[in-house]
């Protein structure tokens, strides 16, 4: 049905306030709404008050306030759909009125829009061109735009004008249809609009009724209601390239644009979060660059998703060489990198080399689908609107199984396939290579030619760069197989072993959170329970026919057995389901409880993980995890916890050794409260358990934390570190080694009782999480805590049983005999005691090496430690003698080999040197940490796991990695360790003397360390050597990240600012008042707008693309305040040299002139002492005195320096 649109009488806006670019953040008036909301066209008049900004042009900068401001890109740089035609038209008067309304009407390829005026940013109405069915001329220079159920009439100034409008509209419609046909012809896709990322009702301030809002790509569209959304007739849409979204309160959020603030309210907090996320996604999308996409789309088939046909796909699988939409990309990712390597055309810009783009133009969706989708039955084809599960099935079949592929004639004949591949790669026939690889040809088969043994080498020999690129991207691609191993989730649908069990159980009402308190007996009700056919049903009684409820075994994610007597029933067990419910069952008899637990476990654990059932467990279930080399995606694994052992069965990879939770090096929770990740680090393994489901994750978390804690007071019940030493001992010893070796009277002096006690208490509770920091703990408190711990050990370090034997041994007169007796006794100690004695004596051996400064020679130490370790009153010296003997004969008694001793000495030397040099970081954590470091770039093959002692410097780490990889250092190879922040797209070359450990602790999950050559170092050193001044000043483009959450949402652009960097601070000046011709230094306004202490800045090379840096020579400056708040700025230089000069100056002032270690240390690094001594104290240029003088000069006010020029 078609009806005329009837706008209400045009009325004068009642409240209009101006929002200008300059007063961003000021909200437009909450306009008065019309009352006739029942009227179909109530919204018509609203924008008047809403976003008509009549005097907008007055406050806009002149560049933007052009005659038709909105006909050009509003922000000046975002590409906007070009306007086909724009001009003033009269819109037909509302019923009962004869006054035509003047409207500024604008047509682009997708929309016809009309505005109150040509200065308005937001339309009163838009009509999707795709929904226009006809344009017809009616009398009186009028014409009608007819859609399925509504007609809009306009009157032009003249017949010529009308004709132009009608032609423009008809042409736009024709083009729209052609595009739709192309889309539907191509892979059965549905023509028309993009699927929204989110759509639904929202309140918008100023509107009486809720609007229907859709987030589509980089736009937020506003519709009056759902019906109009379907009709393609909306109010307006907001281009998110100028949008900024921020939370206001629990349910509200603002979408701010330079022209207006839209204040939305959602129905719930959760919905608000989802809207925020969707709109932030739209901002990201708007700010991403489509340069690569435009180029890849140059090949027509690439303009539609290779899988579902959705238009403008901006993702790609770089090994399959197909362009896909965001939705399909998500499912591709789920296939694993072995099947599809997913990258964004818009965001992963670095990936898109010229070669790869060319490959996509040559192969791309055309060739890709001729091979992969040669036989898709129409019933199995995807549509842009297909559901995620349909998509997943289709993509599994298409790429993992190769179900629809065109079989190569040589299929099945491996030898011939390989031969054909070797031939194909030397030609330009990429489609053939694709078909051969997809049909099983071996990518690394032997070509028969030793000169060029692999297809890749052959391609290289033949100069086929595209073939090489294709082969490289498919190096690890799995060959599709119909019988291929399905991902784990498929296992759940496998019919589980039929287990049957029945009996009475006592059950409580299911809970949505963990059970914190004891459940009284009365809270349980007796239920007849039957486990059969994979369902646990509970009935009112054994005669009842219909169950009260049931739990499907496939929904069970975890089964836990609380300690006896936790609840009103002696024996209980908990069942957690996927739907985040927790059921508690109880029983009197242990045997019965045990039997039920066993049966339920059997019913929900797949055969894959049945090994876990062989042992008793306190907790059993499945959890998403990441581990080993497959960190890209989480998989679901099966876990069981018994005692302090965590067993795991992973769908891929070899059988895992159980994790000894008490021996973990790290147990921490990362991520935010919504997205928690439990990180478990063992000696060589790191396991990430993800908290996707909150309830069972919290259960696991508590259980694992408890299991990882110390169990009791004896040594072996403590949390254990590397080599079986209790973490508590290790922490203290390490701290004293780091900070107390030169402290006078160490171990003899007592700490403050209260502090010592508090420290010991927290260490006993969870030593692993205690990080002793210099400045926070006094060494004497730590040493006292250690002594107290050892003295209080119930069994003593030397055990009650053997204590006497040790004391007796000390009386043996023959020195040699005595030592061998000690050795004998040592072997008899329990392993943890033995390891601890050794660690402790080794430590005391170090301490006495510094007796010159700490006054603690062997004898003094023995006086202190004898009674402590043997728990005596110190009256007789036998105990002391044992300690004295052990220290004196340390090497022999403990069979310490040369290498060990040398390492120990090195470590001490390094520590002392650094302390003397005063470079010991103020926030040093004790304890080693295993860290993953990459060589040259981040990928599985370049991974190295390195133990990072607290004393390790960036240079030592660099050298260690190079050593391990056997990489020689050539002259002018500036190998450096970089901290790479993937999220910020920035990296920071670590200073060679920087301690690695504190950096590791601060490293987020999206950061990693890479050792590679510092390409700019030589240029920087040359610059530093040749410059005249030690300060640097000049203009840079500056942008502040005002988002406190670090979401990196845009808040304004880059602006020119004047900077001065001296040895103490970086200063920013807003204005440069005048130029002094005789000095070259511009005079700045006297007070800097901002000032930051230079030593607390971290300078990263690079600025994330999302922020649209004006040049590619940018850096990101992070400032952490005393309160650990992070602030961030972005600076851009005009040239690479400028960037290097600034960066070099930063390095110079931050590290007191020591930018690069002096050469000899690197060259002679084979000699260990020198290697550790490479932390050079000699400044790069000049003597130390010169250095100090120049530092002194730095500290002067740069302005006064400038004035003296």
Interface positions with Zn ion (CB under 5 A): 305, 307-308, 310, 325, 328
Q: Which residue, 32, 52, 44, is CA-closest to 8? A: 44
Q: Are 30 and 205 in contact (CB under 8 A)?
A: yes
Backbone angles phi, psi at 627, to 5 degrees: -160, 170
Shortest distance (Å) from residue 313 CB to Zn ion: 6
Indicate the residue among 366 and 1053 with the shorter CB distance to Zn ion.
Answer: 366
Residue (384 or 1048) nearer to Zn ion, CB:
384
Cβ at position 399, least distance to Zn ion in Å: 13
Helix (H, G, I), strand (E, B) or coil at 996: helix
Question: 1043 φ, ψ to 5°?
Answer: -75, 120
Least distance CB 391 / Zn ion (angstroms): 7
Q: Which is closer to Zn ion, CB of 305 or CB of 741?
A: 305
Secondary structure of 675-703 in HEC code, one letter for each residue? CCEEEEECCCCEEEEECCCHHHHHHHHHH
Instruction: Compare residues 306 and 715 and give the one whose CB is closer to Zn ion.
Output: 306
The least distance separating Zn ion from the CB of residue 325, rounded to whole angstroms, comes to 3
Q: Which is nearer to Zn ion, 305 or 829 (CB)?
A: 305
Shortest reach from residue 970's CB to Zn ion, in Å = 48
The least CB distance from residue 310 to Zn ion, in Å, is 5
Distances (CA, A) of 677 to 596, 663, 674, 697, 698: 31, 19, 10, 9, 11
**1027 three-state secondary structure:** coil
| Cβ at position 624, least distance to Zn ion in Å | 25
Tell me how far, at minimum, the Cβ of 188 lies from Zn ion, in Å: 12
- Residue closer to Zn ion, measured from CB, 307 or 469: 307
* Nearer Cβ to Zn ion (328/661): 328
Task: Evaluate whether 522 touches 546 at the Cβ level (below 8 Å).
Answer: no
How far is the C-alpha of 1170 from the C-alpha of 1177, rounded, in Å?
13
Say how many CA atoms lie within 13 Å of 34 toward its Cβ. Answer: 20
Residue count of the chain: 1205
Using the minimum distance from each CB to Zn ion, give the nearer residue, 305 or 1187: 305
Min dist. Cβ of residue 331 to Zn ion (A): 9
- Residue number with CB closer to Zn ion (311 or 989): 311
Q: What is the DSSP letter of 328?
A: H
- Adjacent-strand bridge partners of 247: 253
**To the nearest whole angstrom, how small is the minimum distance from the Cβ of residue 386 to Zn ion?**
8
Name which of 308 and 457 has its Cβ closer to Zn ion: 308
CA distance 1160 to 338: 46
Long-range CB contact pairs, 298-303, < 8 A, 24+: 298/361, 299/360, 299/361, 299/364, 299/365, 299/366, 300/182, 300/366, 301/186, 301/364, 301/365, 301/366, 301/369, 302/360, 302/361, 302/364, 302/365, 302/366, 303/182
Which is closer to Zn ion, CB of 309 or CB of 402? 309
Give 914's contacts (C-beta < 8 A, 6+ positions apart).
920, 951, 1175
Q: Please identify, using beta-carbon distances, which residue of 302 and 958 lies nearer to Zn ion.
A: 302
State the minimum distance, in angstroms, from the CB of residue 344 to Zn ion.
Answer: 14
Contact 664, 680 (CB under 8 A): yes
CA distance 1105 to 1111: 10
What is the residue-wise DSSP string for 603-670? Answer: HHS-GGGGGGGGS--SEEEEEEEEETTEEEEEEEEEEEEETTEEEEE-SSSSPPPPEEGGG-SEEEEE
Rank residues 394 and 988 by Cβ distance to Zn ion and give the closer one. 394
Residue partners of 560: CB distance under 8 A and separation at least 6: 573, 574, 576, 618, 619, 620, 621, 699, 703
Alpha helices, H only, 186-289: 226-231, 269-287
CB-based contacts of 32, cutoff 8 Å, min separation 6? 14, 15, 49
Cα dihedral angle (688, 689, 690, 695), rounded to 10 degrees? Answer: -160
CA 1124 to CA 1109: how far, in whole Å? 27
Least Å distance, CB 333 to Zn ion, is 13
CA angle 1022/1025/1026 to nearest 5° reads 85
Beta strands in 166-310 (DSSP E): 198-204, 211-216, 219-223, 233-234, 236-239, 244-247, 252-256, 261-265
Helical (H) or strand (E) element with 315: strand 315-317
Least distance from C-beta 387 to Zn ion, angstroms? 12
Shortest distance (Å) from residue 346 CB to Zn ion: 16
Residues 1204 and 1018: their CA atoms lie apart, in Å, by 31
Is residue 134 within 8 Å of 172, Cβ to Cβ? no
DSSP string, 749-765: S---HHHHHHHHHHHHH
Residue nearer to Zn ion on the CB measure, 399 or 1113: 399
| Of residues 20 and 312, the one with the C-beta less far from Zn ion | 312
324 or 864: CB nearest Zn ion? 324
State in angstroms the smallest separation of the CB of 221 from Zn ion.
Answer: 21
Instruction: Indicate the residue among 313 and 1050 with the shorter CB distance to Zn ion.
Output: 313
Phi first, then psi, for residue 65 (nearest 5°) are -80, 55
Nearest-10 crossing angle of helices 753-766, 727-739: 130
Residue closer to Zn ion by CB (options 34, 331) is 331
Smallest distance, Å, CB 312 to Zn ion? Answer: 11
Residue 19 in 3-state DSSP?
A: coil
User: Which candidate, 706, 724, 726, places its Cα nearest to that of 714?
Assistant: 726
Query: Least CB distance from residue 369 to Zn ion, whole Å?
Result: 12
Q: How far is the CB of 184 from Zn ion (least distance, A)?
A: 14
């Amino acid at each position: 049905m078609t009806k005329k649109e009837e706008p209400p009488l045009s009325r004068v806006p009642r409240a209009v306030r101006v929002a200008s670019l300059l007063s961003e953040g000021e909200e437009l008036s909450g306009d008065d709404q019309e009352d006739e909301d029942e009227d179909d066209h109530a919204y018509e008049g609203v924008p008047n008050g809403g976003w008509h900004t009549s005097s907008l042009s007055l406050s806009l900068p002149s560049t933007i306030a052009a005659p038709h401001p909105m006909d050009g890109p509003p922000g000046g740089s975002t590409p906007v759909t070009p306007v086909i035609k724009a001009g003033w038209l009269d819109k037909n008067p509302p019923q009962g009125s004869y006054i035509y309304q003047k409207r500024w009407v604008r047509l682009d390829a997708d929309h016809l829009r009309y505005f109150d005026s040509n200065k308005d940013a937001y339309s009163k109405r838009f009509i999707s061109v795709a929904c226009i069915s006809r344009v017809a001329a009616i009398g009186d220079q009028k014409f009608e735009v007819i859609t399925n159920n509504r007609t809009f009439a306009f009157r032009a100034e003249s017949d010529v004008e009308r004709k132009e409008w009608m032609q423009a509209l008809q042409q736009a419609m024709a083009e729209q249809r052609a595009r739709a046909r192309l889309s539907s012809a191509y892979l059965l896709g549905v023509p028309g609009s993009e699927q929204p990322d989110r759509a639904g009702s929202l309140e918008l301030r100023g509107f009486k009724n809720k609007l229907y809002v859709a987030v589509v790509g980089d736009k937020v569209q506003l519709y009056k209601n759902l019906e109009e959304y379907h009709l393609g007739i909306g109010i307006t849409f907001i281009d998110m390239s100028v949008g900024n979204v921020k939370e206001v309160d629990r349910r509200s959020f603002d979408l701010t644009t330079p022209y207006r603030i839209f204040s939305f309210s959602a129905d719930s907090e959760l919905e608000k979060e989802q809207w925020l996320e969707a709109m932030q996604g739209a901002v990201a999308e708007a700010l991403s660059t489509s340069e690569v996409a435009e180029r890849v789309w140059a090949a027509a088939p690439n303009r539609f998703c290779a899988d579902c046909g959705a238009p403008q796909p901006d993702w790609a699988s770089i090994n399959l060489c197909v362009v896909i939409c965001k939705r399909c990309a998500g499912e591709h990712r789920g296939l694993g990198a072995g099947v599809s390597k997913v990258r964004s055309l818009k965001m992963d810009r670095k990936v898109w080399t010229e070669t790869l783009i060319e490959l996509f133009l040559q192969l791309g969706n055309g060739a890709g689908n001729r091979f992969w989708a040669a036989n898709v039955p129409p019933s199995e084809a995807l549509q842009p609107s297909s559901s995620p599960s349909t998509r997943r099935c289709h993509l599994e079949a298409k790429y993992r199984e190769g179900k629809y592929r065109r079989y190569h004639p040589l299929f099945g004949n491996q030898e011939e396939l390989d031969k054909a591949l070797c031939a194909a790669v030397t030609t330009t026939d990429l489609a053939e290579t694709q078909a051969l690889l997809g049909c099983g040809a071996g990518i690394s088969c032997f070509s028969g030619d030793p000169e060029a043994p692999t297809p890749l080498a052959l391609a290289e020999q033949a100069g086929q760069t595209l073939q090489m690129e294709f082969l490289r991207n498919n190096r690890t691609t799995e060959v599709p197989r119909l019988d291929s191993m399905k991902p784990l989730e498929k296992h759940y649908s496998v019919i589980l072993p039929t287990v049957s069990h029945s009996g009475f159980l006592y059950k409580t009402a299911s809970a949505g959170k963990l059970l914190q308190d004891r459940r009284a007996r009365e809270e349980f009700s007796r239920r007849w329970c039957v486990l059969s056919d994979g369902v646990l049903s509970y009935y009112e009684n054994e005669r009842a026919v219909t169950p009260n409820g049931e739990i499907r075994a496939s929904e069970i994610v975890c089964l836990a057995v609380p300690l006896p007597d936790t609840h009103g029933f002696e024996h209980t067990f908990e069942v957690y389901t996927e739907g985040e419910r927790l059921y508690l069952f109880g029983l009197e008899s242990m045997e019965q409880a045990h039997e039920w637990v066993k049966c339920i476990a059997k019913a929900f654990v797949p055969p894959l993980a049945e090994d876990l059932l062989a042992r008793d467990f306190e907790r059993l279930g499945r959890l998403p995890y990441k581990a080993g080399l497959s960190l890209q995606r989480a998989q679901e694994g099966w876990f069981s916890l018994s005692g302090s052992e965590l067993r795991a069965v992973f769908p891929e990879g070899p059988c895992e050794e159980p994790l000894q939770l008490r021996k973990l090096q790290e147990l921490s929770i990362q991520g935010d409260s919504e997205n928690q990740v439990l990180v478990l680090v063992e000696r060589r393994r790191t396991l990430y358990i993800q908290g996707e489901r909150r309830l069972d994750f919290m259960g696991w978390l508590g259980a694992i934390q408890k299991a990882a804690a110390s169990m009791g007071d004896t040594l072996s019940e403590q949390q254990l570190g590397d080599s079986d030493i209790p973490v508590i001992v290790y922490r203290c010893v390490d701290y004293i080694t780091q900070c107390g070796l030169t402290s006078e009277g160490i171990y003899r002096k007592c700490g403050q009782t209260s502090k010592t006690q508090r420290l010991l208490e927290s260490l006993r509770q969870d030593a692993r999480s205690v990080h002793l920091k210099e400045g926070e703990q006094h060494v004497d408190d730590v040493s006292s805590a250690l002594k107290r711990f050892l003295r209080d050990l119930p069994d003593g370090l030397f055990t009650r049983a053997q204590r006497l034997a040790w004391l007796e041994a000390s009386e043996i007169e023959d020195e040699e005999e005595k030592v061998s007796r000690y050795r004998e006794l040592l072997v008899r100690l329990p392993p943890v005691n033995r390891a601890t004695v050794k660690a402790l004596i080794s430590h005391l051996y170090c301490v006495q090496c510094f007796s010159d400064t700490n006054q603690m020679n062997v004898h003094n130490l023995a006086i202190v430690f004898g009674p402590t370790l043997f728990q005596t009153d110190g009256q007789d010296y036998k105990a002391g003698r044992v300690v004295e003997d052990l220290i004196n004969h340390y090497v022999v008694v403990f069979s310490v080999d040369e290498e060990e001793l040398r390492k120990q000495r090195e470590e001490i030397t390094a520590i002392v040197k650094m302390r003397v040099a005063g470079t010991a970081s103020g926030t040093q954590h004790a304890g080693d940490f295993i860290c993953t470091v990459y060589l040259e770039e981040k990928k599985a093959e370049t991974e190295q796991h390195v133990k990072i002692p607290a004393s390790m410097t960036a240079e030592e780490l660099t050298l260690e990695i190079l050593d391990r990889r056997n990489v020689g250092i050539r002259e002018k190879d500036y190998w450096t360790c970089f901290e790479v922040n993937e999220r910020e797209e920035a990296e920071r070359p670590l200073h060679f003397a920087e301690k690695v450990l504190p950096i590791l602790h601060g490293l987020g999950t999206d950061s990693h360390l890479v050792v590679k050559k510092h390409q700019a170092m030589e240029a920087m050193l040359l610059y530093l050597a040749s410059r005249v001044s030690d300060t640097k000043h000049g203009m840079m483009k500056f942008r502040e990240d005002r988002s406190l959450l670090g979401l990196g949402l845009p808040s304004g652009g880059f602006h020119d600012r004047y900077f001065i960097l001296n040895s103490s601070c970086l200063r920013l000046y807003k204005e440069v008042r005048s130029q002094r011709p005789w000095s070259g230094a511009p005079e700045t306004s006297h007070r800097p707008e901002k000032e930051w202490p230079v030593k607390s800045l971290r300078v990263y090379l690079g600025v994330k693309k999302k922020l649209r840096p004006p040049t590619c020579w940018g850096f990101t400056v992070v400032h952490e305040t005393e309160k650990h708040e992070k602030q961030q700025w972005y600076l851009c230089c005009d040239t690479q040299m400028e960037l290097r000069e600034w960066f070099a100056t930063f390095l110079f002032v931050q590290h007191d002139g020591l930018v690069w270690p002096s050469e000899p240390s690197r060259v002679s690094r084979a000699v260990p002492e020198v290697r550790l001594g490479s932390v050079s104290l000699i400044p790069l240029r000049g003597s130390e005195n010169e250095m100090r003088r120049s530092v002194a000069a730095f500290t002067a006010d740069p302005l006064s320096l400038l004035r003296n020029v």
